[in-house]
Amino acid sequence: LSDRRVLIAGNWKMHGSLAAADAFAYRLGEHLADRAAPAELLVCPPATLLERLGSKLRPLKVGLGAQDCHAKPSGAFTGDIAAPMLPELGCRYVIVGHSERRQLHGEDDATVRAKAEAALAAGLTPIVCVGETEAQRESGAAESVVGTQLEGSLPSAGMLVVAYEPVWAIGTGKNATQADIAGMHGFLRRRLGERGTVTRILYGGSVKPQNAGEILGTSDVDGVLVGGASLQADDFWAIAAAAPAR
Ligand code: 13P
């Protein structure tokens, strides 16, 4: 059980400034001075803030992750960031295959898998994201879509984290029901069981302080991947504080 420590991960997406990063770390530090972290904490800011935020989070023992990486270790790829560049900045994790990358940058399962392999080769833990659209859920295809994504996106071996983020629940304030979350996480757990490594499964999509307790209390949920509510240290902390003891 200890290797399935609850993981509370923040994905800042394309938000934040140096001032916001400093304020976030300062406030999180105040909370951590009062109470030890109730779970493993991780923040994934934009690449521009990795170094600055990382330097402030390191003494707090809060982890740092990136939001994406390229599949190749170096090369003529203007604007991209290679996985081996990330550990130097203090990253231990990298998100790959977020639905916004899949939808807005045309990333398919093979691309996501290549990125996850690159992350592992660089010594990073990939957080591989999967999730169905509203139309796919309504047509009853959620499990088959997510199962196909999982099969196509996962590297063949290595320690990773999987994040289930139903596309229709991201940034919408819409929540999956506890039964839907338990159902999909149970399905993922069975599929991942065949890998033989312990894989934490996070839920993401409109996770807020108000619903974090219920979501984190759902079976087979090992943590959350939080977008909007991770930008404010007080909200991020309130979500972490809802983590059940393990
Ligand atoms: P929101 O929490 O803003 O819905 O975003 C979820 C998400 O996409 C995290 O990766």
- Quick one: three-class SS letters along 149-215? HHHHHCCCCCCCEEEECCHHHCCCCCCCCHHHHHHHHHHHHHHHHCCCCCCEEEEECCCCHHHHHHH
**178 CB contacts (<8 Å, ≥6 apart)?**
214, 215, 218
Whether 215 has a pLDDT exceeding 80, the answer reads yes
pLDDT band at 1 (very low <50, low <70, confident <90, very high): very low
Whether 226 has a pLDDT exceeding 70, the answer reads yes
CB 154 within 8 A of CB 120: no
- Which residue's alpha carbon is nearest to atom 1 within ligand 1? 227
- Which residue's alpha carbon is nearest to atom 2 within ligand 1? 227
**Ligand 1 nearest atom to the CA of residue 229, by list position:** 2
* Other beta carbons within 10 Å of 18: 11
The residues facing 151 across adjacent strands are none
Average pLDDT over residues 169-175: 92
pTM of the model: 0.97
Give the alpha-carbon dihedral of 201, 127, 89, 34, to 10 degrees.
-20
Q: Which two tokens stand for residue 175?
A: 């929540």
| 98 is an active site residue | yes
**245 CB contacts (<8 Å, ≥6 apart)?**
38
**76 CB contacts (<8 Å, ≥6 apart)?**
none
* Other beta carbons within 10 Å of 59: 10
Does ligand 1 have an atom closer than 6 angstroms to the CB of 209?
no
